[in-house]
Structure 1
């Protein structure tokens, strides 16, 4: 059953001791805080994707803090090819995530047809708790959901590991 109180992502990351894995299943996200950055990128201004002190600073600091205390952070982006414009934008800025300590791979959707995925993007912390990210049809956040039932955790960890094994490391993935 879904939990009534959903801790913040920062709280969940602070409690994490060993591993935090993230599976992204959408080809675009409508994240309001990056709308101006995305629009500028679409016009050819790529400076923000390399800005360690702007909008992404808090995330990069959080990754550095977690990996600095031994948490392994991995992310798989399951993507349609050719990549959506949003995913090309994400690819352009991924180097900063990697520099901060996150490991990121890309899985072409055509190679994932036989992997049983849950219906939503998710994070799994320490192989014990899942944070689903719910989105609207336009890609805006519709709020998180935290689950701890063993069958839900197993579904997500198994799906992630299967995807990770098939995915291409960022440095080898060509856009």
Structure 2
């Protein structure tokens, strides 16, 4: 595996022709970029979401080329505060062109999931999401190993088939 960061990670999207799929399996993320927006969310304070605009611009560029960006979030119910925050922000992802779905954790066996988050590009390039202990996103550990890619492809297909589109998913 090779760690890719910054522009190299974005190059994975640029090289993608059909689909960039993201699996998220954590109930809480503590990325420094989101700490103030998350605090505002919890305090019910307004946010201009300027911090989120670079990602949304990226999504528009990728989907504008005809590449699907699909995101599946496996979540525990009842939701953590972070899951509620991520779901509230997901409307911006969807407006930018992402297809976001949710799957309650109790509806899938642990043997049918991975413990890590990852991106799968065109079902051929796998990038495990890497975080520092502080929660800061570091990049992706990239591999094209056919066994790992094949396994994650099967997880993707199973999770996606069970997951509920954002517009239909209700917070319990």
Structure-2 change in CA distance of 1:139 and 1:112 (3 Å): farther
Structure-2 change in CA distance of 1:27 and 1:60 (3 Å): same
**CA deviation after TM superposition for structure 1 residue 34, in Å:** 1.2
TM-score, normalised with respect to structure 2: 0.91
The within-5 A match list for 1:5-16 is 6=4, 8-16=8-16
Question: What is the aligned partner in structure 2 of residue 161 from structure 1?
Answer: 157
**CA deviation after TM superposition for structure 1 residue 45, in Å:** 1.4
Cα distance in 2 for partners of 1:142, 1:66 equals 21
Cα displacement string for residues 35-77 of structure 1 (whole angstroms, at most 9, x for unaligned residues):
11111111111434xx3xx111111111111111010110000
**CA deviation after TM superposition for structure 1 residue 14, in Å:** 1.1
Q: Gaps spanning 5+ residues in structure 1: where?
A: none
Question: What is the aligned partner in structure 2 of residue 27 from structure 1?
Answer: 27
Moved over 6 A (4+): none
TM-score, normalised with respect to structure 1: 0.89
Question: What is the aligned partner in structure 2 of residue 41 from structure 1?
Answer: 41
CA RMSD of the aligned region, Å?
1.7
Cα pair 2:116 2:128 within 8 Å, conserved: yes
Question: What is the aligned partner in structure 1 of residue 57 from structure 2?
Answer: 61
Cα distance in 1 for partners of 2:106, 2:127 equals 25
Cα pair 2:31 2:134 within 8 Å, conserved: no
Q: Gaps spanning 5+ residues in structure 2: where?
A: none
**CA deviation after TM superposition for structure 1 residue 10, in Å:** 1.0
Question: What is the aligned partner in structure 2 of residue 79 from structure 1?
Answer: 75
Cα pair 2:19 2:67 within 8 Å, conserved: yes
